[in-house]
Amino acid sequence: MHSRDKIRNIAIIAHVDHGKTTLVDKLLQQSGTFRDNEAIQERAMDSNDLERERGITILAKNTAINYKDYLINIVDTPGHADFGGEVERIMKMVDGVLLVVDAFEGCMPQTKFVLRKALEQNLKPIVVLNKIDRPSARPEEVVDEVLDLFIELGATDEQLDFQVVYASALQGTSGNEPTDLASNMQAVYEVIVNHIPAPTESVELPLQFLVTLMDYNEYMGRVAIGRVNRGVIKQGQPVAVMTRDGKIKQARIEKLFGFQGLKRIEIEEAAAGDIIAIAGIREINIGETIADPNNPEALPVLKIDEPTLQMTFLVNNSPFAGREGKWVTSRKLRERLFNELETDVSLRVDETDSPDSFVVSGRGELHLGILIENMRREGFELQVSKPEVITRMIDGQKMEPVERLLIDVPEEHMGTVMESLGSRKAEMVNMINNGTGQVRLEFLIPARGLIGYRTNFLTLTRGYGIMNHAFDSYGPYYGSNVGGRHQGVLVSSETGVSTLYGILSIEDRGLLFLQPGAEIYEGMIVGEHTRDNDIVVNICKEKQVTNIRSANKDDTVRMKTPRLYGLEEALEYLNDDEYCEITPKSIRMRKKYLNKNERERSEKSRKNSEVNA
């Protein structure tokens, strides 16, 4: 067991894509934690498929490296504000943070979000200016930006006196000056051991351990990960589990694990300041305290940011239900959603009057989108409604979530972007033009105004724009006409297979979402109308075969390229009267009422109720 003053517990925090996970890779590789012949994957910390495909960190993960005679426990956290629940809990496990900032991009919305969480916990910060080898890097300006951000967030004098290290995680180089880099990560290790404080908790006091992360293992069941806040914990020891609702349950520690590199190693005991995993306690949840049974004292319950967005998850009842998925019943859907609550503390699941639908609330579109994507890969079929923001009553006033939006665009697109955001009730708070032809615009915008905006934004900027946003605060309700889709849709009148002839006959009515030969059903959305109303179309029409030769030859006919939607784009596109049907192989958009007459009846009764209200 390491002596307490040789342990360092740090979290790596940053805006998404500023290089946290790559930095951890290099720290692991150069520490000698792995054998020379051991194969290590790139971005080794991003362990699940979705993380590797998207190049983002979704779940916080921890690792431990040995440097000289120090043990450095490192927790890699997500950069997206949607996974803020993960970031928030991690801060309870560590004594300091490495704030990784891109030497070109500088401070971004999530940089502010994650740094605020760290400063609130009074953690010691170290700034790592990454990607310093980029030709466009501007280290001096970015250090000034970081300092301004610290001041804006109310950092203490001690926190303002932060150390800065310059690095290129990709190249594995670092140094204390931007122009003087060594071809190793020595400068990063040294700043960690010299400036991050060692754990100060007492080994003598009765045991306290806060469950911060949850894992599941099919052999051992639930695995609770966290930091020993005080005392000593041993294998086989009887403990008291203090639940979130104040109850006390007796349990026994079956197995203890420490961390070494990416592996968990079984240990006999751990003491205050150690980050460990505990197996063998069946019903344990995030935020609960494991304590000494003779002197049970609970640690403060973790405060988690409330969800800001909700969607209804429903059993798939479309004409194609049950064709592609393994799990299609409401019992399975309910079981899966409630299982997710065990490891995701930012999620809420509420049952409705119908046994077939559940209201799921999360931190944003990406948060809920990742859950849906995981479910479809597991073989679930389901339908979801349009995402809606969660409003609150604060001091008798209706309030809604407001996001801070940061946009980088070429100068020539600035006007159109500002105009498009104006109609979504965005308020510009800052504009920086550093003379490179790129402009940075900063807005405060109601979260509703951002739903469905990304596709429109990419079209307006021809793919050259970059947008990032993070939750800022709750502000007064902006009224009912914010955001939303302005175009109507093309709705299929038939069930069958789309034909080239059918598609060509309605191409001038709008933009199609599918190719010829796609299976469709009545009420399915097959395209976007050029106007603001919905129309019913038949794209299953076959050409009448005659023996008269046509003057314009068929082989010269060209079909326009359809717009194919992925999961997140489809969720953003939906209107109030539509669902997105999700199966392991398909993503389809449809009307809630598939039959045209039913849709008309529903619209009529909605208008009548509005008039009466």
pLDDT, tens digit, 9 for 90 and up, residues 555-574: 556 777 888 888 878 888 88
Confidence of residue 218 (pLDDT cuts 50, 70, 90): low
Average pLDDT over residues 162-167: 89
Confidence of residue 80 (pLDDT cuts 50, 70, 90): very low
Q: CA nearest 445: which of 471, 464, 466, 419?
A: 471
Of 5-19, 124-138, 188-202, 590-604, the one with minimum mean pLDDT is: 5-19
Average pLDDT over residues 488-499: 89
The pLDDT of residue 431 is above 70: yes
Task: Answer yes or no: is 21 a known binding residue.
Answer: yes
Average pLDDT over residues 301-327: 84
Cα separation of 521 and 288, whole Å? 49
Average pLDDT of the chain?
81
Note the pLDDT of residue 602: 84
Task: Answer yes or no: is 131 a known binding residue.
Answer: yes
The pLDDT of residue 189 is above 80: yes
Task: Answer yes or no: is 17 a known binding residue.
Answer: yes
Task: Answer yes or no: is 18 a known binding residue.
Answer: yes
Q: Which residues does residue 580 pair with via DSSP β-bridges, in sequence order?
A: 384, 589
The answer, as to whether pTM is greater than 0.75, is: no
Of 230-239, 302-311, 570-579, the one with minimum mean pLDDT is: 302-311
Indicate the fold that domain 392-476 takes in CATH.
Alpha-Beta Plaits (3.30.70)
Note the pLDDT of residue 315: 92
pLDDT digits (tens, 9 = 90+) for 228-242: 988 888 888 888 888
Note the pLDDT of residue 545: 67
* Better pLDDT: 548 or 55: 548
Give domain limits for the chain. 4-195, 208-291, 392-476, 487-550+559-564
Note the pLDDT of residue 580: 92
**CA 260 vs CA 31, 32, 45, 68, 272: distances in Å:** 11, 11, 13, 14, 18
Task: Answer yes or no: is 133 a known binding residue.
Answer: yes
Task: Answer yes or no: is 543 a known binding residue.
Answer: no
Average pLDDT over residues 86-90: 69
Task: Answer yes or no: is 386 a known binding residue.
Answer: no
202: CB partners within 8 A, 6+ apart: 230, 231, 272
Task: Answer yes or no: is 554 a known binding residue.
Answer: no
Cα separation of 79 and 65, whole Å? 22
Note the pLDDT of residue 486: 76
Average pLDDT over residues 140-156: 88
Q: Which residues does residue 444 pair with via DSSP β-bridges, in sequence order?
A: 404, 427
CATH number corresponding to 487-550+559-564? 2.40.50.250
Of 369-378, 437-446, 460-469, the one with minimum mean pLDDT is: 460-469
For strand 519-520 and strand 248-252, is the pairing parallel, antiparallel, or unpaired?
unpaired
- Percentage of the chain modeled with pLDDT above 90: 8
Indicate the fold that domain 4-195 takes in CATH.
Rossmann fold (3.40.50)
Whether residue 290 contacts residue 278, with contact meaning beta carbons closer than 8 Å, is answered with yes
The pLDDT of residue 447 is above 80: yes
Residue type, 549: R
The pLDDT of residue 360 is above 90: yes
Note the pLDDT of residue 516: 87
Average pLDDT over residues 127-147: 87
* Better pLDDT: 547 or 390: 390
Note the pLDDT of residue 78: 62
Is the domain covering 208-291 a CATH 2.70.98.70 domain? no
Task: Answer yes or no: is 546 a known binding residue.
Answer: no
* Better pLDDT: 551 or 124: 124
Note the pLDDT of residue 55: 42
Task: Answer yes or no: is 180 a known binding residue.
Answer: no
If you average pLDDT over each of 11-15, 246-250, 277-281, 588-592, which comes out highest? 588-592
Alpha helices per DSSP H over 7-135: 20-30, 49-54, 84-90, 109-120
Residue type, 418: M
